[in-house]
Amino acid sequence: MNKLIAHPSPNWNERPTSTVIDTVIIHYTGMKSGKAALERLCDEDAQVSAHYLIEEDGSLFQLVKEDKRAWHAGISYWRGMNNLNHNSIGIELVNPGHEFGYRGFPEKQIAMLLKLLKDIHQRHDIVPANVIGHSDIAPDRKSDPGELFPWGYLNANGFGLFSQETGESTIQLLKRDDNGKAVEKMNSLLKIVGYNITEIRTFTQESEDALRAFQMHWRQRAVTGVYDQGTAIILQDIAGQIARDEDIK
């Protein structure tokens, strides 16, 4: 891996005793420049940080050591775990985000991300379902790394889940406040994938937020929060992959 640039942040604390690091969370910085993002992540008053930051040119900075608890996830949930700061490694990718001119992620940046993920994988047991985005763990308030992030490319290189289903149909199947067996199935599948669905029987705001986050990750061409045929096909596939992996264990 290319030279790691140490840029220590004061914003960390100890992980809980006996914590197993089992998740990687990918973010975008959502600021006008990498310099501004680096300054904020190292500002004691900001109370935010991550373990790593990758610039658009591929420069890699370490802000917090992996065995320490960086403050990147906030209020969060994934696959039965609350407060993902405890058990995750946070990686920030420099990108202005949706507020300041969201754009694709450069090849050099993604190449360095893959090198870093391979390096992390040598130290920690990160299953494919636990390489996720900030929007996955906090779908009601976050949208990073967004619909331009190349999850399919990561999967092709051995990290994260992806579906080969095209999911082209936009015919709507369910709408907000619907209930019944079809809603229960949708919410149950979202829960299998990892989202925090507390009301299984009704299509709630929580369901819609989770659907939008799911689409941002696995059905990027139509991020609507609408449960349509295309989303249903891909959701069934991703949930099935996770269920099969759990059965193998």
Classified as helix, coil or strand, 6 is strand
Per the CB < 8 A criterion, the answer to whether 58 and 4 are in contact is: no
Q: Please report which confidence band the pLDDT of residue 56 belongs to, taking 50, 70 and 90 as the band edges.
A: very high
Residue 244 is predicted with a pLDDT of 83
Quick one: average pLDDT of 126-154?
A: 97
Q: Is the bond leading into 145 cis (omega within 30 degrees of zero)?
A: yes
CB atoms within 10 A of CB 137: 26
Classified as helix, coil or strand, 208 is helix
Quick one: average pLDDT of 56-79?
A: 98
Per the CB < 8 A criterion, the answer to whether 84 and 73 are in contact is: yes
Quick one: average pLDDT of 203-232?
A: 97
Q: Please report which confidence band the pLDDT of residue 246 belongs to, taking 50, 70 and 90 as the band edges.
A: low
Least Cα distance to 63 among 72, 73, 53, 48 occurs for 53
Residue 249 is predicted with a pLDDT of 46
Residues 6+ apart with CB under 8 A from 181: none
Residue 248 is predicted with a pLDDT of 44
Q: Please report which confidence band the pLDDT of residue 3 belongs to, taking 50, 70 and 90 as the band edges.
A: confident
**Domains in the chain, CATH or no CATH each:** 4-156 (3.40.80.10), 172-248 (1.10.101.10)
| pLDDT above 60: residue 247 | no
Quick one: average pLDDT of 189-215?
A: 97
At 212, list the tokens: 């939008």
Give the integer Cα–Cα distance in Å for 108 and 56.
7
Which residue has 């946070």 as its token pair? 90
Read off the pTM.
0.96
Indicate which residues carry an active-site annotation.
Answer: 92
| pLDDT above 80: residue 179 | yes
Per the CB < 8 A criterion, the answer to whether 86 and 19 are in contact is: yes
At 71, list the tokens: 């403050």
Q: What is the mean pLDDT of the chain?
A: 96
Quick one: average pLDDT of 192-215?
A: 97
Residues 6+ apart with CB under 8 A from 42: 7, 8, 9, 10, 11, 49, 63
Per the CB < 8 A criterion, the answer to whether 30 and 98 are in contact is: yes
| pLDDT above 70: residue 11 | yes
Write the single-letter amino acid at 59: S
Quick one: average pLDDT of 101-118?
A: 98
